[in-house]
Amino acid sequence: MVHENPERQPVERKVTAATAGSYLGLLALLTVLQTVNASLDLISWLPDAIETLAIPLLPGLITYVSGYVARHTARPDLPLDQR
């Protein structure tokens, strides 16, 4: 895929989907943990509701950056207009 500005490439959908999946998966897990164990205190200075939303940001950020930086795998089996 050729773009006008080679320095700013768009984010592929799979990177966006992986980032959202990473965030939502950890958010669901932390919500369950907070519900089961009300005394779970991961970041003591944050309220529990904010803490549950903030903690999944780190793995989501790591997923986004690693997916964005990863090289695109060429697909020679596709027609030229779909590569």
Contacts of 22 (CB under 8 A, 6+ apart): 56, 59, 60, 62, 63
Show the domain range for 25: 13-68
Return the amino acid letter for 8: R
pTM of structure: 0.56
* Separation CA 32–CA 38 (nearest Å): 10
> What's the pLDDT band for 1 if we cut at 50, 70, 90?
very low
- 2 occurs within a structural domain: no
State the number of CA atoms in the 13 A half-sphere of 8 facing the CB. 2
Of the pLDDT bands very low, low, confident and very high (cuts 50, 70, 90), residue 59 is confident
Whether 69 and 18 have beta carbons less than 8 Å apart is answered as no
Answer whether residue 50 is part of any domain: yes
The chain-wide mean pLDDT, for the chain, equals 76
**Total structural domains within the chain:** 1
Taking the chain, what is the end-to-end CA distance rounded to the nearest angstrom? 6
What pLDDT, in 10s, does the model give residues 4-30? 555 666 777 888 888 888 888 888 888
